[in-house]
Amino acid sequence: MKVYRNIADFPRLNHLVATVGTFDGVHLGHREIIKQVIRVAQQSGGESVLITFDPHPRHVVDPMGDEVRLLTLTDEKIFLLNETGIDHLMIIPFDAAFASLPFDCFVTEILSGAMGIKHIVVGYDHAFGKGREGNFERLSALGSQLGFTCEQIDERRVNDHVVSSTRIRNFLAEGDVEHANELLGHEFFIFGEVVKGNQIGNTLGFPTINLGHFAKHKLIPAMGVYASRIDIDGTMYLGMTNVGVRPTFDASGLTIETHIFDFDQDIYGKRVVVTFTGRIREERKFNGLDELIVQLNRDKDRAFEIFNS
């Protein structure tokens, strides 16, 4: 997958098939759209492109409104999209000037003019351009004038839930990573750099890696203990992750700490991927270290039950 961050750098390609959106989470609904883009491109002997934006449009259009916590930051989105088979990824810098661009100008000048799309695939509820004025009907009408075709993909449902980024965010905010993962089609994860912590885990017999400062807009699951998989340099390990404020130690500030089972390597400074497989319990305060250690051993047993289920 080739990645572009400037429209001027995007080459003129034969029969370009496109989709446009934020694609936060690259969930199962998004993947249906991406599969169709790739399928049409292959059938027509063309190439596929996914067009997205950075930063998230809501952070520019309504910076004082309800903050959108992101399922995937840009590098995490690239990581997921690279596995889909899409040929090209166009990341358009989204600023106030771009936000003011009317829908028909975006389509005429950028999608058709600069990029030369021949077919576009969008989701069932898709709208884009200034004020989200660009619905499917208006897109199709412009396509007839400019020489490209359009199609719309129906909603995707899993266990009677419509798959959407908002619904997934709500599940994660409740700590329900199992249902979130069902809609994502992959385990929710966080990229992070390992930093030195206060070493409390070593004294308990449960040493942890600490993720460094995570991005302002990244969604963090509800506080609690989770069964986790940890990717270190392409090798996957099992472990458990605590998201919280460590009330037993009267600590302050949210931390993400992961105990990796049967692991004793020094990985400070490395970037790791921590996934959230299942929730073990809520975070709570214990009456001393002995009680905490007993609970951590129970948590480990429960983590293996989750991995084996």
Average of per-residue pLDDT across 120-135: 81
Indicate the angle between helix axes 165-173 and 177-184, nearest 10 degrees.
Answer: 160
Give the 3-state secondary structure of residue 225.
strand
pLDDT at 199: 62
pLDDT at 204: 75
Give the 3-state secondary structure of residue 198.
coil
Domain 2-158 has CATH 3.40.50.620: yes
CA dihedral 62, 64, 66, 69 (to 10 degrees): 80
CA 157 vs CA 70, 184, 198: distances in Å: 21, 11, 44
pLDDT at 138: 92
299-308 pLDDT tens trace:
999 999 999 9
pLDDT at 245: 83
Question: Rounded to 5, what percent of the chain is helix, strand, coil?
Answer: 35, 30, 35
CB 300 within 8 A of CB 220: no
Confidence of residue 80 (pLDDT cuts 50, 70, 90): very high
pLDDT at 285: 87
Mean predicted lDDT score pLDDT of the chain = 92
167-207 pLDDT tens trace:
999 999 999 999 999 999 999 999 999 987 766 666 677 88
pLDDT at 273: 96
pLDDT at 104: 92
Whether 298 shows a pLDDT value over 90: the answer reads: yes
pLDDT at 203: 64
Task: Provide the whole-model pTM.
Answer: 0.92
- Name the residue ranges covered by the structural domains of the chain: 2-158, 188-308
CATH number of 188-308: 2.40.30.30
* Tokens describing residue 297: 């051993």
199-230 pLDDT tens trace:
666 667 788 999 877 677 899 999 999 999 99
pLDDT at 272: 95
DSSP letters for 243-288: EE--GGGT--S-EEEEEETT-----TT-EEEEEEEEEEE-----SS
